[in-house]
């Protein structure tokens, strides 16, 4: 009996050792998961058109400032321009949506995930509660295989759409420095945010100040699309760390020293982090 009791105590002790780290791991994961992950999509109706070439990315980056990356992995031309209601003066850039069509005979009724990379300001795009001006590739992806052209010939169609978490496996957040940047003015296009896909705030700090008890993060302003800028009235000294706060979940992360000494306008710098 004494031996059995001793064994039970040992088993309980060992189990408790493994239980605590699992609990801590779960809390850490919960902290970093997007609030959109695991949530059932809320579907709503919208209008849809397409632009550009039938198998293209719509435009070369468009109003969000992503440039040629819209046709490359992970966007892979599955992108969309968006009407004013969801563009939100550029705050909608980088958001991910599932779209599907069900009423046209060529519709597959299967959802396709697209990313907002452009703006469609008026005309058809300003009609109704929401409008997606999809790339030719994304529009055709909603069709039954082999019937892409029939669907594109339909013109304006009704679709269903739902906000979803962005998912870019193997990708970290990238910062493309605006060509007009200099030591006294810094602007950057932020790409590939997972999860919520949109930002509430962007801040920067110079490495020389990170050990200062009075360290101060400097706020960037949204310039246009996914481009954020700062004009501090003095010279900035790299390397820079950049702090991002998610608009939807309020999660914060820091890309430490992501902008190096000797940074160049027009260059892209990849971080080691993502939501």
Per-residue pLDDT of the chain (275 residues; tens, 9 = 90+): 444 444 444 443 444 333 333 222 222 333 344 556 666 778 999 999 999 999 999 987 789 999 999 999 999 999 999 999 999 999 999 999 999 999 999 999 999 999 999 999 989 999 889 999 999 999 999 999 999 999 999 999 999 999 999 999 999 999 999 999 999 999 999 999 998 778 999 999 998 765 555 678 999 999 999 999 999 999 999 999 999 999 888 889 999 999 999 999 999 999 999 98
Task: Yes or no: say if 263 and 175 are a contact pair by the CB < 8 Å rule.
Answer: no
Environment class of residue 120 by beta-carbon count within 10 Å: exposed (0-12), middle (13-18) or buried (19+)? Answer: buried
The pLDDT value given to residue 249: 84
The full DSSP string for the chain is -HHHHHHHHHHHHHHHHHHHHHHHHHHHHHHHS-TTTTPPP--EEEEEEEES-TTS-SSSSGGGT-GGGGGSTTTTT-EEEE-HHHHGGGTTTT-EEEEE--SSTTB----EEEEEEEE--SGGGGSSS-EEEEEHHHHHHTBPTT-HHHHHTT-SEEEEEEEE-B--TT---EEEE-TT-BTTBEEEEEE---BT--EEEEEEEEGGGTT-TT--PEEPEEEETTEEEE--SS---S-EEEEEEETTT--EEEEEEEE-TT--TT-EEE-S---
The pLDDT value given to residue 6: 42
The pLDDT value given to residue 174: 97
The pLDDT value given to residue 17: 39
The pLDDT value given to residue 209: 61
All structural domains of the chain, each given as residue ranges with its CATH number in brackets, are: 44-163 (2.40.40.10), 174-270 (2.60.40.760)
Strands 240-246, 252-259: pairing is antiparallel
The pLDDT value given to residue 210: 57
The pLDDT value given to residue 275: 87
At CA 13, angle to CA 7 and CA 17, rounded to 5? 145
Task: Yes or no: say if 51 and 175 are a contact pair by the CB < 8 Å rule.
Answer: no
The pLDDT value given to residue 29: 32
The pLDDT value given to residue 3: 44
């Amino acid at each position: 009996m004494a031996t059995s009791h001793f064994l039970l105590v040992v088993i309980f002790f060992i189990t408790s050792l493994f239980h605590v780290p699992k609990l801590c791991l779960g809390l850490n994961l919960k902290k970093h998961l997007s609030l959109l992950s695991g949530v059932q999509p809320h579907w709503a109706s919208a209008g849809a058109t397409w632009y550009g070439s039938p198998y293209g990315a719509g435009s070369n980056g468009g109003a969000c400032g992503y440039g040629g990356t819209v046709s490359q992995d992970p966007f892979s031309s599955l992108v969309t321009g968006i009407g004013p209601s969801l563009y939100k003066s550029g705050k909608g850039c980088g958001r991910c949506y599932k779209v599907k069509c069900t009423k046209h005979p060529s519709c597959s009724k299967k959802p396709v995930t697209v990313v907002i990379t452009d703006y469609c300001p008026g005309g058809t795009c300003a009609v109704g509660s929401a409008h997606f001006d999809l790339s030719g590739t994304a529009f055709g992806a909603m069709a039954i295989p082999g019937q892409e052209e029939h669907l594109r010939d339909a013109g304006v169609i009704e679709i269903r759409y739902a906000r979803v978490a962005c998912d870019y496996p193997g990708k970290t957040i990238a910062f493309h420095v605006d060509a007009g940047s200099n030591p006294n003015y810094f602007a950057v296009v932020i790409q590939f945010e997972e999860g919520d896909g949109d930002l509430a705030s962007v801040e920067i700090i110079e490495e020389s100040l990170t050990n200062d008890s009075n360290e101060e993060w400097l706020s960037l302003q949204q310039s246009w699309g996914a481009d954020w800028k700062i004009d501090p009235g003095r010279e900035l000294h790299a390397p820079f760390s950049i702090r991002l706060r998610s608009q939807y979940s309020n999660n914060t992360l820091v890309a430490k020293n992501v902008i190096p000494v000797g940074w160049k306008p027009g260059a892209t710098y990849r971080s080691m982090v993502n939501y």
